A and B are shown apart, each in its own frame.
Chain A
Amino acid sequence: MNWESYKSIADTNLWSAILPEFVLVILALSLLLLDMFGGSKGRGLVGRVTMLGLLVLFVLSLTVLRDNLGYINQTTFSGMLLHSDFGQIMRLFFLASSLLTAYLGSVFLKKQGLPGTEFYAITLLVTASLMLLSQSNNFVLLFVALETVTIGFYVLVSYNRDRSNSLEAGLKYLIMGGFSTAILLMGIVLLYGIGSSPVLEGATAHSLNFSELRNFLELNSDNLIAKVGVLLVVAGVAFKIGSVPFQIWIPDVYQGAPTPVTAALAVSSKAGGFAVLIALVSGPFKPMADLLIPVLSVMAIVTILFGNIAALTQQNVKRLIGLSGVSHAGYLLMGVVAMFTVPSAQNAIVFYLITYLLASYAVFGVMAHVSKRGQDDAQNLGDYQDMLKESPFLAGVLVLGLASLAGIPPLAGFIGKLLLFYVAFEAELYTMLAVAIVGVVISIYYYFGWIKEATFRIWKLPLLEGEEPEEPREWPEVSRTARLTLGGLALLALLLGLYQGPLSSLIG
């Protein structure tokens, strides 16, 4: 056995290159210890420790760890990870998303009276794997990281275990997730098998490595088995981002899952899928452009139309957000198609994801506050009546969030859509562009339906004699932290629409 070569492989296992992920895992494990040995006092601290840890890590990643201790544009762990600027941005994205999920979780868990340690620990572990996922350069690591994320979400979706709809959502997500995992794995196996087949030109023993696979696919881009493998991998990822025809699970799972988990599913999980898709399309699958451009184009067009049309009739706000999320996946897919010809489309996708994060968490934050103590209700549009009068702050955040999702100038969502449409125009995807614009117009109808419920006074019948007046709805107190968080999100969504300077220098 050649020990020297193994020594040189082991020397590439540089744990300092994944310091943030490492810290997250340590933090999650210490939360479990705190729960075990800290008594009731320690248990009360868990949520705060999580948020503090995430906040510190976010600030550190933004400043000291910005260049990842010098490991940029390098591969580590024998080619498993590729540290790129894109990976750094996605790391920050997932840290921010996880911080907001933990905050919503603290609000939600207190209302439901659920224990929190497992929620925070799993959220942290899922974040660590999402961060690894966005930097993975090998199908083995990609699969293990994606599976860790998915299994974490199975648990989180059914976290509200005393309610049958949460368990039902968990079971549905488990079955559909297992199905998608099988499809993804089948695709990976086909690519591995055909890539290391000695009969073909350019065969390599490491066909799971992205750069080696790319070299192979460049020589064999019309091989049938390679084509099937690529399509199956894309299908497996399409489940995660929820694009047609793999969007079936979205409305039910979004409705049943606890609100903070729905938010994480809508933002983190979707962004994780797009991080994988961007890494694949800009790397190993680039030679398959002739196959993927038409397939992804059709998927994007159908996704935009389906998401928007299906959301039109929804009365449940979580289903509405879920289906509108499907249409957002469609717009983003349009950006992915544009990436084949215009590589800078990647930046437009990242910017869109950031605006989507801000607006979504603002809306989900309002949702988490509106539901009553001990219940996960207030999911109907009608529950938002009179919101402006009773709770003007929440109504304001909701209006800003929804308008940003709809893409109304001068909010951030408008600039995000503008950039995406611009790159699509540059890539000459005129048909898709037309469909996307029609989709945006349709989406304004249902977003503004919700805004209308929250802001306009509804005329009620005058009371007849002997009729009891309807009991007024209890509106929640909004704490100072909530004002700071939600107000900050709404403000950012507004400011990013007016001035994108610092962010554009961050994305590049």
Chain B
Amino acid sequence: MVDFLFYMFALTTLLGAGSVVLSRNPVNAAMLLIVSFVGTASLFIVLGAYFLAAVQLAVYAGAVIVLFLFIIMLLNVDASRKWKPSYFTMAGGLIAGILMVFAVLHLFKRGENFTTDTLSESAPIGTTTQSFGVELFTAYMLPFQLAGILLLIAMLGVIFISKRTSDKGKEAV
């Protein structure tokens, strides 16, 4: 059963990723990327990492894709225009692809003695949402609070820079 689920979700991920590359319309490509992310999240569930799966869905399928769609909307990309990559780009892509193939082959060779059991046991703090939460509010309390300040600065900055001013330079409400 687990094997069947793995192959199904792996196929979803790969097909989704493949169609992102092949799709001509950027909006469709962004949507297909969600399919690929859902496949990855499902693979995490098969591995027993439920929290990671939820984060994958919330952050990538939710926030990042919305960001992509916003950028596509703002840039007003023309779907019909054909884009021809330069030789430099093509060479870069080729090298990255070859490296990726070697990395995957290496994983297959080295990964024989890894099973899902050893993976979840070797994780230092476990994989449940509760263990992440407890860890976050004990050992990582200070960086967690500091991240709040980071977001406050970002919010202040965005409001300040994009605030509308009237001609006299006084703040408009």
Contacts and interface: CB of A to CB of B under 8 A. Distances in A.
* 5 closest Cβ pairs, A-B complex: A155-B157, A205-B124, A148-B150, A118-B160, A77-B142
A148 B153 contact: yes
Contacts of A305: none
Interface residues of A, number: 41
A80 B142 contact: yes
A113 interface: yes
B156 interface: yes
Interface stretch (A102-110, A121-129, A337-345, A473-481): A121-129
Given A13-B141, A140-B143, A151-B154, A115 B171 contact: yes
Interface of A: 1, 6, 9-10, 13, 18, 25, 32, 77-78, 80-81, 113, 115, 118, 121-122, 125-126, 128-129, 132, 140-141, 144-145, 147-148, 151-152, 154-155, 158-159, 161-162, 170, 196, 198, 205-206
Interface residues of B, number: 27
11 contacts: A6-B134, A13-B138, A80-B143, A115-B160, A125-B153, A126-B153, A129-B150, A140-B143, A145-B146, A148-B153, A151-B157
A152 B156 CA distance: 9
B7 interface: no
B14 interface: no
A21 B152 CA distance: 16
B161 A13 contact: no
B142 A118 contact: no
Contact of A155 (B143, B147, B161, B169): B161
A9 B150 contact: no
Contacts of B157: 118, 122, 151-152, 154-155
B143 A1 contact: no
Nearest to A198: B122
B153 A78 contact: no
B28 interface: no
A1 B142 contact: no
Contacts of B152: 125
Given A121-B156, A152-B157, 7 more contacts: A1-B130, A9-B138, A10-B138, A118-B157, A128-B149, A129-B150, A144-B147
B114 to A, nearest CB: 11
B154 A140 contact: no
Contacts of A121: 156
A148 B161 contact: no
A144 B148 CA distance: 10
Nearest to A147: B150
B131 A1 contact: yes
A118 to B, nearest CB: 4
Contacts of B160: 115, 118, 155, 159, 161
Provide the main secondary structure of the chain A interface: helix
A125 B140 contact: no
Given A1-B130, A158-B161, A198-B122, A129 B138 contact: no
Contact of B153 (A115, A140, A155, A206): A155
Nearest to B150: A148
A161 B150 contact: no
Contact of A148 (B122, B140, B149, B159): B149
A25 B161 contact: no
Nearest to A6: B138
A13 B141 CA distance: 8
Contact of A132 (B124, B146, B156, B169): B146
Nearest to A126: B153
Nearest to B137: A10
B139 interface: yes
Interface string B89-126: 00000000000000000000000000000000010100
A162 B124 CA distance: 50
Name the residue among A121, A152, A205 with the largest chain B CB count within 10 angstroms.
A152
A148 B142 CA distance: 13
B143 A141 contact: yes
A42 to B, nearest CB: 14
Interface string B6-36: 0000000000000000000000000000000
A309 to B, nearest CB: 31
Contacts of A132: 142, 146
Contacts of B137: 10
Nearest to A114: B169
A132 B141 CA distance: 14
Contacts of A9: 138-139
B153 A81 contact: no
Interface in B34-62: none
A159 B169 CA distance: 14
A154 B138 CA distance: 31
Contacts of A145: 146
A196 B125 CA distance: 13
